[in-house]
Structure 1
Amino acid sequence: MTSEPNVTRYPRLVLAGLSGGSGKTIVSLGLARAWADAGLRVKPFKKGPDYIDAAWLGLAARQECTNLDPGLLDRASLLTLFQEKACASDLALVEGNRGLFDGKDVRGSCSTAELARILRAPVALVVDCTKMTRTIAAVVQGCAGFEPDVPLAGVILNRTAGQRHRTMLRRAVETYTDVAVLGTLPKLAENPIPERHMGLWSGEELSDGGNQSLQALGKTMAENLDLERLLEEARCAPALDEQRAEIWPRAEAGPQPTIGYVRDAAFWFYYPENLEALERAGARLVKLSLLDNEPWPELHGLYLGGGFPETLAEQLAGNRSRRDQVRELALSGLPIYAECGGFMYLCQQLEFDGKDWPMAGVFPLRTGFCQRPQGLGYTEAEVLRDTPFYRAGEIVHGHEFHYSRCVVPGQDGIPEMTMRMRRGKGMLDQKDGAFFAATQAGYNHIFALATPQWAPNFVRAARARLLQTSGDC
């Protein structure tokens, strides 16, 4: 007699769009807040490499968001991460990205549809119905039949013009398809959350942390969507076989080093999993700011994430004591890892809106803001030399999304580059990872669970710094 596999039910729902800009983020935020206000423990997830939508989903659900990226993690790792983070929730809400079937290639690799298949999760499809009536039926029918193994729970008709428009849309879907209409949403007079060049503003930049906007969105969803039907679809998702892939690093023996990470209004692009990986590898993390003059504790490592340094360039430049402190830490050989916005801060200057602002000056480089993206998408980089974070010959997978470009002033030359980009643009001439002393910086973002050597190596370097400064080496 064979035993039954260890399976568990995780109520879950994927919110997908017909395309980017369909309104799925607004719907996801509203649903997360509506269900959270109803007393449900909503665990938000965001598909793909994304910091901004993920941060807003965390605010809406009042619970930290986790990224699920089939472009960086294999199936077993994705399922392990999902189950680990969803197990204590009443509902897992997953926001997709781009169009439902859009992926890295013509086969749709790494698409939202692929993630839904991996999770065996029902999909609610958000469709922008602007200037559309009967054609909605053809669109919905096409999506329902395109990949039949994608469990389409129903469609949300977004940006409708009025009751007559909504009635016609609903009747068309119900007459010509077998897909359920899960609700119709009116066209909002304005975007409740301001946007800029890289997406939504952060909640920290809004006076109330975005709460008023989220409450309004939650009310809109509760009034116009069939929340009970959506919740029932999530609860009817089939059981998942339990996964136990080894996705986290283990701490090595030795003293616990302190690694600071900058988290303020200018720098807030961090995957929570990156920070958790550092802690699991043995580090004690402390949150820091480059915008104030609060004293920092003794550090044995420093992590500078991405963000919007260009929009707060004046404040960053005006805090000269902090710029000097970071430069001195780099000169002293402190292990420092910087991504995108953090790299921009370590350069000599940052140009934005026609003005040049002095930065920390660790690297003889400057960055200038452009009107269009200068790097966008998944990356693959070959490590050219050993650093505290990587070893020569390793392949590092990540992503980049930046509107700035790197410029060499001329007189001081180009710093040593530690990575050759096989995919992606990097900083200069298909190279990335500027290196000085024990500081590595570049446009490339990594996801720690897809780059398992990064956190243990970082902590190992920080521990060596601790032992060096304490005189125990």
Structure 2
Amino acid sequence: MNFPRLVLAGLSGGTGKTIVTLGLCRAFKNLGKSVKPFKKGPDYIDAKWLGLASGQSATNLDPFLMSVDKLKALFLEKGQGADISIVEGNRGLFDGKDVEGTCSTAELARIINAPVILAIDCTKMTRTVAAIVAGCKAFEDGFNLAGVILNRTGGDRHRNILQKSIETYTDVPVLGMLPKLSKNPIPERHMGLVSNTEYGPQDESLEILGKMAQDCIDLDKIFEIASNSGNIPQNEEPLWSGIELVSEEHPVIGVVRDEALWFYYEENLESLTKAGAKIEEVSLISDDPWPEIDGLYLGGGFPETLAPELSANKDRREHVSRLADSGLPIYAECGGFMYLGDDVEYEGTKYPMAGVLPLSTCLCAKPQGLGYTAGKIIQENIFFPVGTEIVGHEFHYSLCISRTDSNPSYALKLSRGKGMADGFDGMIKNNVYAGYNHIHALGAPCWAGNFVKAALQFKKERK
């Protein structure tokens, strides 16, 4: 199968590849093209901004979180019908989870047979950029470096030397040269870009980036490169294999989606639907009443920055606590698990939370867990059978502190990652499973069906 596609990569994090990708997505959208964005790696915030820039929700691709066949199937399903699919890489082009570069952006580009365009920060650099480009092109086999976009360039003299150097010493085309921006249109903080839910002038910022891309990048040449990508090798494994309809009774699973918690892979929600659940979005902040639910999914997000609002809604906190005590199946990831604790400490103030779990969380100045995770289920729970191998990721600045009078039970023993305490994650209590670890449903196909089964059982018992 063939459709126009490309991967936008950088030499490292912070080189401006997200700004370049956002600009390309908005520029092509403004030209009337249907743009499907993808984000390589475990990233919710960049993916959200890519969706806003393109007008279509972004899909995450990661060879660590799912099999190669699943990844190809996901890319093929979500990319079909778009005029161009644009994949934003993560970290440096060849950076993976080991010295071989496993799960790198370059590996992803090979899997989906996509040309790579490299965004390079040219601050305080001229001729050396040619050596970097030549080195990147020759570094790995089976990898198509189709062009470069030079970012943060100075005046005309700087741009002239950069372009001539690359043209003299390499055969890689320069597809655009972007100026230094006096101010980042989209501010950043400890977890990357500030989320769109907290930043007001979204469309204005994206229009600035789109206009810059139209003025400074050869969009026609980029579209030509994307259109000549060639075929993607067909996959052997169907995308939704392992996720089957559990029941047509459609138990209701509430999914918290508000300003505080909104980190979800859309495939996780889609898998719950395919397994038979009816999804109802609910809020922990709003006073709007909840429907009757048979399960609850609390994703990640920023409960710390919304802690005053979360804490102020005492009725909602008590309602969640009663639901947990009643045996409601509850699955919580990172920010969602923080809400289930006794309190969250942020900037010197403790904010009471739902009190479902005997723990507190405290925000720290440095990351307390960052990167891919792997482990095995060691305790009985309703979501994963004992012995299940789990892969995922964590990215949190909060530290989990269990109460001294508690005897916590953890379902997941990590072989890679920090988790909640000494390499353990997934605290269980009644039918609650909560931890720092994020999973992708395509890499843990049993999760959706088991969640729906538990919700169905709760529904029957309640009746």
Q: Is the counterpart of residue 319 in structure 1 residue 281 in structure 2?
A: no
Q: Is the counterpart of residue 240 in structure 1 residue 232 in structure 2?
A: yes
Q: Is the counterpart of residue 385 in structure 1 residue 376 in structure 2?
A: no
| SS of alignment partner, residue 182 of structure 1 | strand
The equivalent position to 1:217 in structure 2, one of 200, 209, 213, is 209
Query: Which one is further off, 454-463 or 139-148?
Result: 139-148
Give CA deviations for 1:154-191 in whole Å, capped at 9, x if unaligned.
11110001111011100100111111000100011111
Q: Tell me the CA shift for residue 244 of structure 1.
A: 5.4
Please tell me whether the aligned partners of residues 83 and 243 of structure 1 are also in contact (alpha carbons under 8 angstroms).
Answer: no
Q: Tell me the CA shift for residue 311 of structure 1.
A: 0.4
* 1:395 aligned partner: 389
Q: Tell me the CA shift for residue 254 of structure 1.
A: 4.1
Q: Is the counterpart of residue 227 in structure 1 residue 219 in structure 2?
A: yes
The AA in structure 1 aligned to 2:224 is E
The equivalent position to 2:401 in structure 1, one of 398, 407, 418, is 407
Q: How does 1:25-44 map to 2 (within 5 A)?
A: 25-44=18-37
* 1:53 aligned partner: 46
* 1:253 aligned partner: 247
Q: Is the counterpart of residue 265 in structure 1 residue 259 in structure 2?
A: yes
User: RMSD in angstroms over aligned alpha carbons?
Assistant: 1.0
Q: Tell me the CA shift for residue 342 of structure 1.
A: 0.3
Please tell me whether the aligned partners of residues 65 and 439 of structure 2 are also in contact (alpha carbons under 8 angstroms).
Answer: no
The equivalent position to 1:422 in structure 2, one of 415, 418, 422, is 415
Give CA deviations for 1:411-438 in whole Å, capped at 9, x if unaligned.
x323211111111111012111111110
Q: Is the counterpart of residue 289 in structure 1 residue 283 in structure 2?
A: yes
| SS of alignment partner, residue 204 of structure 1 | coil
Give CA deviations for 1:283-308 in whole Å, capped at 9, x if unaligned.
00011111111000000000000000
Q: Tell me the CA shift for residue 220 of structure 1.
A: 0.5
Please tell me whether the aligned partners of residues 402 and 408 of structure 2 are also in contact (alpha carbons under 8 angstroms).
Answer: no
| SS of alignment partner, residue 166 of structure 1 | helix
Q: Tell me the CA shift for residue 239 of structure 1.
A: 1.6
Q: Is the counterpart of residue 373 in structure 1 residue 383 in structure 2?
A: no
* 2:10 aligned partner: 17
Q: Tell me the CA shift for residue 393 of structure 1.
A: 1.2
Q: Distance in 1 between matches of 2:413 and 2:233?
A: 39
Q: Tell me the CA shift for residue 77 of structure 1.
A: 1.1
Please tell me whether the aligned partners of residues 347 and 364 of structure 1 are also in contact (alpha carbons under 8 angstroms).
Answer: yes
Segments of 5+ residues of structure 1 without an aligned counterpart are: 1-7
Please tell me whether the aligned partners of residues 5 and 114 of structure 2 are also in contact (alpha carbons under 8 angstroms).
Answer: yes
The AA in structure 2 aligned to 1:352 is Y
| SS of alignment partner, residue 455 of structure 2 | helix
* 2:349 aligned partner: 355
* 1:86 aligned partner: 79
Q: Distance in 1 between matches of 2:164 and 2:247?
A: 65
The equivalent position to 1:143 in structure 2, one of 123, 136, 143, is 136
The AA in structure 1 aligned to 2:262 is W
Q: Distance in 1 between matches of 2:63 and 2:195?
A: 25
The AA in structure 2 aligned to 1:403 is Y
Please tell me whether the aligned partners of residues 255 and 297 of structure 2 are also in contact (alpha carbons under 8 angstroms).
Answer: yes
Q: Is the counterpart of residue 109 in structure 1 residue 94 in structure 2?
A: no
Q: Distance in 2 between matches of 1:469 and 1:91?
A: 49
Q: Distance in 1 between matches of 2:347 and 2:62?
A: 34
The equivalent position to 2:358 in structure 1, one of 364, 383, 387, is 364
* 2:438 aligned partner: 445
Q: Distance in 2 between matches of 1:20 and 1:100?
A: 10
The AA in structure 2 aligned to 1:278 is L
Query: Which one is further off, 237-246 or 282-291?
Result: 237-246
The AA in structure 2 aligned to 1:234 is A
Q: Distance in 1 between matches of 2:233 and 2:26?
A: 29
Segments of 5+ residues of structure 2 without an aligned counterpart are: none
Q: Is the counterpart of residue 172 in structure 1 residue 165 in structure 2?
A: yes
Q: Distance in 1 between matches of 2:133 and 2:147?
A: 9
Please tell me whether the aligned partners of residues 435 and 441 of structure 1 are also in contact (alpha carbons under 8 angstroms).
Answer: yes
When normalised by structure 2's length, the TM-score is: 0.98
Please tell me whether the aligned partners of residues 246 and 452 of structure 2 are also in contact (alpha carbons under 8 angstroms).
Answer: no
Q: Distance in 2 between matches of 1:253 and 1:148?
A: 48
| SS of alignment partner, residue 87 of structure 2 | strand
Please tell me whether the aligned partners of residues 23 and 126 of structure 1 are also in contact (alpha carbons under 8 angstroms).
Answer: yes
Q: Distance in 1 between matches of 2:153 and 2:79?
A: 33
Q: Distance in 1 between matches of 2:210 and 2:407?
A: 51
Q: Tell me the CA shift for residue 408 of structure 1.
A: 2.1
When normalised by structure 1's length, the TM-score is: 0.96
Q: Tell me the CA shift for residue 362 of structure 1.
A: 0.3
Q: Tell me the CA shift for residue 384 of structure 1.
A: 1.2
Q: Tell me the CA shift for residue 247 of structure 1.
A: 2.8
User: Runs of 4 or more off by more than 6 Å in structure 1?
Assistant: none
| SS of alignment partner, residue 138 of structure 1 | helix
Q: Is the counterpart of residue 128 in structure 1 residue 128 in structure 2?
A: no
Aligned pairs, number: 461
| SS of alignment partner, residue 132 of structure 1 | coil
The equivalent position to 1:337 in structure 2, one of 328, 331, 339, is 331
Q: Distance in 1 between matches of 2:234 and 2:29?
A: 26
Give CA deviations for 1:30-53 in whole Å, capped at 9, x if unaligned.
100110111111010011111111
Q: Distance in 2 between matches of 1:358 and 1:254?
A: 39
| SS of alignment partner, residue 391 of structure 1 | coil
Q: Distance in 2 between matches of 1:184 and 1:256?
A: 53
| SS of alignment partner, residue 120 of structure 1 | coil
